[in-house]
Structure formats: structure tokens, C-alpha cells
């Protein structure tokens, strides 16, 4: 989701982040919002609404995650086609998912 999304979209993401954060407390996983990019290859990256990584290699890597365990896209009318299409295909190619 690009900056300037709807209030409902933001609320759904915030609620999901809270649930995931609570569920993963005490585990080696971290929950990230859409400010952190998911590096799928040297030339391809995306910004999921939520990314969870439990991989030590992702800690301290600046603004990128490379080994996600979970990605979440909250669909909105303006991005649904891309999220369900090309972006979903990219995620299916990610070995850690």
C-alpha cells in the first residue's frame, strides 16, 4: 500500500500487527510494517503491508528483509489486481515462505 491509504486499511494493518506481535512474543520472530522492503532478488523488491521474519540473517539489515516467514497484504481497490497477480507470483517464488 502506498502512503495515503484509507483509515480502514490502516486500522486493519495495525490490528493485525498487534495480534502477530502478541502471538510471537518470546519467539525469535519480528513483525515489520510496510516501511521495510522485502528483497526478493537483487533486482526485485516489494513492500508488503506486514512482514514477519524469524531468521537471524534479517536482523540488523537496515531497510530490507530477505527471509520472510509470513507476508500479509491487506487488499484495497487500488492495489488488489497487482497484489493478487504479479505480487502474489513474486511471493510464491520466495523459498522462505
Q: pLDDT tens-digit profile of 37-65? A: 999 988 999 999 999 999 999 998 788 99
Residue with C-alpha cell 495515503? 4
| 90 vs 46: CA distance, rounded Å | 9
pLDDT value, residue 79 = 87
pLDDT value, residue 1 = 39
Q: Taking the model in full, what pTM does it have? A: 0.90
Annotate 14-28 with DSSP letters as a single string.
Answer: HHHHHHHHHHHTTSS
Mean pLDDT, range 81-96, rounded to an integer: 94
State the cell numbers at 51.
512482514
What structural domains and CATH numbers belong to the chain? 7-92 (3.90.1570.10)
Mean pLDDT of the chain: 93
Amino acid at each position: 500500500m502506498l502512503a495515503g491509504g484509507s483509515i480502514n486499511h490502516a486500522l486493519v494493518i495495525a490490528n493485525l500487527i498487534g495480534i502477530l506481535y502478541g502471538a510471537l512474543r518470546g519467539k525469535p520472530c519480528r513483525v515489520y510494517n510496510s516501511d521495510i522492503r522485502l528483497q526478493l532478488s537483487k533486482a526485485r523488491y516489494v513492500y508488503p503491508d506486514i512482514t514477519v521474519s524469524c531468521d537471524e540473517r534479517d536482523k540488523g539489515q537496515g531497510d530490507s528483509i530477505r527471509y520472510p516467514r509470513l507476508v500479509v497484504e491487506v487488499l484495497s481497490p487500488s492495489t488488489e489486481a497487482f497484489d493478487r497477480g504479479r505480487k502474489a507470483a513474486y511471493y510464491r517464488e520466495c523459498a522462505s515462505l
